[in-house]
């Protein structure tokens, strides 16, 4: 008689069930590990608008899958460039593979922590665009490339200009017209990496002396420097103020929302690079290299061209942006790149001492000088005091000349040593110059009130007082000549 099989116990069934689950899990693991590849990964630290970065990354994912046949997951981490620099150079983990955006000097300082890479698309890119580098040029293998370009210019609100009966400026010189007084917004160039090139733009599109005169005069027309370029753009968009000096991408972002806004480079601009690099201590370095390759392609530049200026000749950006390689682009001819590199730090601090820290003094002096200008012709004393006021007001362009900046650069070992001594002398000289400008302008106004008869009497008395030195007017001529001579002297510690 056959034995009856026993019914499996509950514990046995449970064990079989667990074993089955384990077997299925193992099979799934093997399947997904060997037959279905994991998505690749990439982490990007950036300081750009989320809209632009999202569009670029979305297109990169499609490009990557088409080129490598696999998916890629990308983490976009908005981070201030200074924080990125510290992560890249000091932290144990950089937390990313790509650093995108920030001042080029930061990338240069961090170059030993960046991965040199010869992109497969490197030969399709020009080395420069009107003196602006499109990749690192100091070393054979670039440690960074340029993702896009931008230039400084003027955003304006057509409706606001019409309401104030103001014309649209055509040149940088136009901004100095009296009608624009109080109608211009901008960030202090000495306090913003994005607006700092404005100083160089003016000095190189004019010359050292007239350039500093321009910078001081423009400062007099600005009520108060804004905290950020975003604030300037919003003021113009709201019609609170009709004009603002800022980088083009701030304008283009707002123009997409406010149709009454326009942007112009006026008659000159300076292109600036938007660097991108691979972080050496990153984990997914092959994916980072792929992203750099992608950024340099015509495809990626077309996407970037919706927001910035492209780095390729063969890309047509979205209007109103223009390709910077076109002959009509208002670049500065005979631009001195060497001076920009040598003098950037010195010029920034010189501006701070003569303009930033003296903004209120400049505005006060300018108000009195404009009033004195209306009456300076009434008698010789008024004219001479006015000329002295103007000489002091424009003293920044004479106190140090262009050649002496090179000397200061050498004496301070690249503006890294003994800078405080120079800054203190510049501060002292600027304070005294604007004080003298105000006082002489007031004397010019007061002298203009003198009647011809009393002027003759005072002149005769002056001739007696200055008999040993010559006539009254010869004496003041000598003073004026001495002031002019002192312009060419740079006080050095």
pLDDT digits (tens, 9 = 90+) for 80-94: 999 999 999 998 787
pLDDT at 191 over 90: yes
Single pTM value for the model: 0.82
Same topology, domains 40-148+273-304 and 149-271? Answer is: yes
Number of C-beta neighbours around residue 477 at 10 A: 13
Residue 443, C-beta contacts closer than 8 angstroms, at least 6 positions apart: 385
Residue 467 has pLDDT above 50, yes or no: no
Q: Mean of the pLDDT values across residues 294-323?
A: 96
Residue 428 scores a pLDDT above 70? yes
What percentage of the chain has pLDDT greater than the value 90? 77
What pLDDT digit, counting tens, does each position of 192-246 carry?
999 999 999 999 999 999 999 999 999 999 999 999 999 999 999 999 999 999 9
101 vs 117: CA distance, rounded Å: 18
Comparing C-alpha atoms, which of 289, 294, 177 is closest to residue 304? 294
User: In this predicted structure, what is the pLDDT of residue 454?
Assistant: 55
Least trusted range by pLDDT, from 108-122, 252-266, 284-298, 475-489: 475-489
CATH class for the domain made up of 40-148+273-304: alpha beta
What average pLDDT does the segment 318-347 reach?
Answer: 91
Residue 479's pLDDT is 43
Nearest to 492 by CA among 403, 419, 402, 432: 419
pLDDT of 463 higher than 50: no
**Residue 74, pLDDT above cutoff 80:** yes
Compute the average pLDDT of residues 388-413.
94
Instruction: Give pLDDT, residue 34.
Output: 47
pLDDT of residue 471: 42
β partners of residue 157: 261
First to last CA, the chain: 119
Query: With 80 as the cut, is the pLDDT of residue 9 above it?
Result: no
DSSP for 3-47, please give it. Answer: PPPPPPPHHHHHHHHHHHHHHHHHHHHHIIIIISPPPEEEEEEE-
| Residue keyed to tokens 């900046």 | 405
Query: For the segment 348-372, what is each residue's pLDDT rounded down to a tens digit?
Result: 999 999 999 999 999 999 999 999 9
Query: Domain 149-271 carries which CATH code?
Result: 3.40.190.10
Q: Where are the domains of the chain?
A: 40-148+273-304, 149-271, 338-487
- The more confident residue out of 133 and 35 is 133
DSSP result, 301-366: HHHHTTTSB-S-TT--PPTT---TTSTTS-BPTT--HHHHHHHHHHHHHHHHHHTGGGHHHHHHHH
Point out which residues pair with 40 in neighbouring strands. Answer: 72
Q: Which two tokens stand for residue 42?
A: 């990439």
* Mean local confidence (pLDDT), 43-48: 96
CB atoms near residue 333 (< 10 Å)? 9
At 483 the pLDDT is: 45
Segment (H or E) for 153: strand 145-157
Distance CA 301, CA 308 (A): 9
Here the tokens at position 195 are: 């607006």
3-class DSSP state for residue 105? helix
User: pLDDT class for 450, splitting at 50, 70, 90?
Assistant: confident
pLDDT over 60 at 2, yes or no: no
Instruction: Compute the CA torsion angle 18, 19, 24, 27 (nearest 10 deg).
Output: 140
Taking alpha carbons only, the member of 281, 276, 372 closest to residue 47 is: 276
């Amino acid at each position: 008689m056959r034995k009856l099989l026993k019914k499996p116990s509950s514990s046995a069934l449970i064990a079989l069930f667990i074993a089955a689950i384990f077997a299925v899990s193992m099979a799934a693991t093997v399947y997904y590990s060997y037959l279905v590849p994991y998505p690749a990964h990439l982490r990007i630290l950036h300081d750009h608008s989320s809209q632009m970065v999202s569009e670029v990354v979305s297109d990169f994912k499609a490009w990557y899958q088409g080129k490598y046949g696999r998916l890629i997951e990308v983490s976009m981490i908005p981070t201030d460039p200074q924080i990125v620099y510290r992560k890249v150079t000091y932290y144990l983990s950089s937390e990313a593979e790509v650093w995108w955006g920030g001042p080029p000097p930061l990338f240069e300082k961090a170059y030993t922590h960046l991965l040199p890479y010869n992109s497969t698309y490197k030969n399709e890119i020009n080395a420069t665009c009107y003196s602006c580098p499109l990749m690192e040029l100091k070393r054979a293998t670039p440690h960074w490339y340029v993702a896009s370009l931008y230039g400084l210019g003027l955003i304006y609100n057509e409706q606001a200009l019409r309401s104030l009966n103001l014309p649209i400026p055509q040149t940088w010189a136009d901004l100095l017209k009296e009608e624009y007084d109080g109608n211009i917004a901008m960030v202090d160039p000495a306090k913003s990496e994005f607006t700092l090139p404005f100083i160089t733009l003016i000095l190189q599109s004019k010359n050292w002396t007239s350039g500093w005169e321009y910078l001081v005069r423009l400062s007099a027309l600005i009520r108060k420097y804004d905290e950020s370029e975003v604030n300037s753009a919003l003021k113009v968009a709201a019609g609170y103020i009709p004009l603002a000096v800022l980088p083009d991408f701030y304008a283009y972002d707002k123009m997409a929302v406010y149709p009454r806004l326009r942007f112009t480079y006026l008659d000159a601009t300076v292109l600036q690079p938007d660097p991108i690099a691979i972080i050496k201590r990153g984990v997914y370095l092959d994916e980072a290299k792929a992203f750099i390759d992608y950024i340099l392609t015509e495809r990626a530049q077309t996407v970037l061209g919706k927001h910035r200026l492209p780095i390729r000749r063969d890309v047509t950006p979205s209007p109103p942006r223009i390709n910077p390689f076109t002959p009509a682009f208002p670049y500065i001819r005979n631009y001195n790149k060497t001076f920009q590199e040598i003098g950037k730090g010195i010029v920034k601090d010189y501006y701070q001492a003569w303009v930033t820290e003296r903004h209120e003094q400049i505005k006060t002096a300018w108000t009195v000088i404009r009033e004195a200008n209306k009456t300076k012709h009434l008698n010789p004393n008024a004219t001479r005091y006015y000329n002295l006021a103007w000489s002091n007001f424009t003293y920044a362009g004479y106190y140090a000349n262009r050649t002496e900046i090179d000397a200061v650069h050498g004496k301070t070992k690249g503006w890294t040593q003994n800078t405080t001594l120079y800054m203190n002398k510049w501060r002292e000289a600027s304070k005294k110059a604007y004080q003298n400008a105000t006082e002489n302008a007031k004397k010019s106004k007061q002298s203009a009130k003198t009647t011809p008869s009393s002027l003759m009497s005072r002149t005769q008395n002056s001739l007696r007082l200055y008999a040993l030195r010559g006539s009254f007017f010869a004496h003041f001529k000598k003073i004026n000549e001495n002031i002019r001579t002192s312009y060419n002297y740079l006080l050095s510690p």
